[in-house]
Structure 1
Amino acid sequence: MRVLIAYATHAGSTAEIATFIASELKNHGISAEVKEIREVIDPGEYDRLIIGGPIYVGRMKEVEEFCKQHQATIKGRLIGAFTVGMAFTGDEVKQAEARQVLDTAIAPFSPGRLGYFAGKTDPSRLSFFERTALKVVKAPIGDFRDWNAIRTWITGVADDLRG
């Protein structure tokens, strides 16, 4: 079985999570290839797909475009999707809004496993404008990724892959 983890990233946090997902799947005896979403030419080369990306300015633009472009190919292959965002460090209202962003990005698909993960904000990897915006909205700075929660999600995905 060929498994692809296709991800979008803005400042690298989601790429690190995608790589971690592949590593953990390997611990479950499942080999997966990790590719940045814009490098994926034909997702039909894979039996199963996991798609993920960050919420950036309230959207998951690259994930949404990928799903629309490859809609016919993705159908029946998408087993999991995840999003990474600082909204998952906040209150339930913000988390619900962020969950809706993922639903919108992957529509019309409803994979069995959806992952919602807090991210990492490293101002040194951001532009001056982005750093200024962080200050204005008082966004949390730091690494809020919960690797154990991600690992738990991956265990469910591995169970689904083994069917």
Structure 2
Amino acid sequence: MRVLVVVASKHRATAEIGDAIVAELRAAGLQVRRVSPAEVRTFAGVDAVVLGSAVYMTQWMESMRALVARHADVLRRLPVWVFSSGLAGVAAGGEVPDPARASALVRGIEPSGYAAFKGRLDPGALGLRERAVTRLGSAAEGDYREWDTIRAWAREVAGELLAHAPAERPLLLR
């Protein structure tokens, strides 16, 4: 089963989450590739998709929003899982609101599942404007990503895919 993981990440934190998801899906025996939204021309030959984006100012990155809008018809016909990353500073155990749930664009592709993961805020990686915005919003710096939660979600996605995989198709295609 061929899975395409598409990740929009500005400062690598969300890309690293995408890499952890790819590792779990591969460990389950799926053929997986991670790309950025700019690299996607078509979803031909793909059996399932995972879409993930960093969240800025309560929205997914523009590159991911544009990809979903451009390919909505195809994405509605594929099994799709969605995740958001960001909102650094959410208290441990605190609920992370997921902007994807509120987005008509994302709801329109009817994803099989959602996840919202805490992110990382490294002021040293930010530009002047970004640092100003994070100061105004009193965002706490640090790495709040919960790797066990991320990996567990990826294993759930893999389990759902394997449960519905056609029997005649080999699953291990590295």
TM-score, scaled to structure 1: 0.89
More helix by share: 1
1:18 aligned residue: 18
Equivalent-residue separation in structure 2 for 1:137 and 1:76 (angstroms):
39
Alignment check: 8 A CA contact 2:89 2:140 kept: no
1:102 to 90, 100, 109: 100
The aligned counterpart of 2:71 is 70
Partner of 1:146: 146
Contact 2:88 2:142 in 1 (8 A): no
Consecutive unaligned residues in structure 2, runs of 5 or more: 165-174
Unaligned runs of 5+ in 1: none
Shift of residue 45, structure 1, vs aligned partner: 3.1
Matched AA of 1:152:
A
- In 1, distance between residues paired with 2:133 and 2:89? 18
| Separation of aligned partners in 2, 1:75 and 1:151 | 25
Q: Compare CA radii of gyration and give the structure with the larger one.
A: 2
What is the aligned length? 158
Q: Deviations over 1:4-62 (max 9, x none)?
A: 00011121111111111101111111121000111111123311111010111121132
Partner residue in 1 for 2:90: 89
Offset of residue 87 of structure 1: 5.9
Amino acid at match of 1:81: V
Aligned-residue RMSD, C-alpha:
1.7
Partners of 2:109 and 2:73 lie apart in 1 by 11
* Conservation of the 8 A alpha-carbon contact between 1:67 and 1:107: no
Aligned-pair identity in percent equals 27
Higher relative contact order (CA 8 A, sep 6+): 2
